[in-house]
Amino acid sequence: MRQARPLRILLAFDFDGTLAPIAEVAEEATIAPDAVAFCRWASSLPEVTLAVVSGRDLEDVAARTAGLHAFRSGSHGLELSSPLGERLRSVAARPLEPPAALIDAAAGAEMRIERKRHGVALHWRGASDAGDVPDIIDAFRKWAGDEGLQIIDGRLVVEARIPGPSKKDILMELAGLTAAQRVIYVGDDLTDFEALEWAASHGSAFVVASAERLEYPSGSEVTHSLPDLFARLRVALEPTSGS
């Protein structure tokens, strides 16, 4: 009788709001100690491949997840590296700068403009002048459209990015690259929804719930805390036999 073998699993996480609590300022986000411990345990399982898929620049997410044996994707899919740090995809940076009037208006409303390697993000968490926020967002979207940029909506943020692969595309690519027979994805934001829906149909999808959102992708499982999430993931990662 042939011995059963565990299924190969791709376990992928978003970073902000998932492995790291949401921070008012992106530069202050830090991976949770419980997340480090869980990821190290999961990646030690021979059938599990770990990945971190983020909207941050690749160098940024790599620095914040240093010590984890994981594939890493940055810029919502434009960049990808192996667990050993080898660049598997790297798109040339493109300097992007919104008009000065838009920058001034955002500053006046206490909105924050974040410049990235492949895009620009407009944040309005904590904005003081809520009345001006919708008009500033519309102006940002128009500028991005005129520049031929891709709009990516997030939680209290909108990003204008060089067009290219998405988080869902990265999951599909990594699943093929690692010959994964099951995919588990964990996210929290609008930018994760397509990836979550795809993962739900190819394994499991977990959403770290937020008071800022009431509806989540179909097929996803909702959790409200990291301890609960990691407890449920441990069950999901229990050895699964295949013939």
pLDDT of residue 146: 96
Domains of the chain: 5-91+165-242 (3.40.50.1000), 100-161 (3.30.70)
pLDDT of residue 126: 77
Instruction: Tell me what percent of the residues of the chain surpass a pLDDT of 70.
Output: 94
pLDDT of residue 95: 85
pLDDT of residue 241: 40
pLDDT of residue 20: 94
Per-residue pLDDT tens over the stretch 2-54: 444 568 999 999 999 999 998 777 788 899 999 999 999 999 999 999 999 99
Kindly give, in sequence order, each residue whose CB lies less than 8 Å from that of residue 190, ignoring residues fewer than 6 positions away: 153, 154, 155, 213
CA 2 centroid distance within chain? 39
pLDDT of residue 181: 95
d(CA 173, CA 213): 29
Could you write out the three-class secondary structure of 78-109?
Answer: CEEECCCCCEEECCCCCCCCCCHHHHHHHHHC
pLDDT of residue 158: 96
Q: Which residue positions in the chain have pLDDT lower than 50?
A: 1-4, 241-243
d(CA 202, CA 108): 45
Kindly give, in sequence order, each residue whose CB lies less than 8 Å from that of residue 98, ignoring residues fewer than 6 positions away: 113, 120, 140, 143
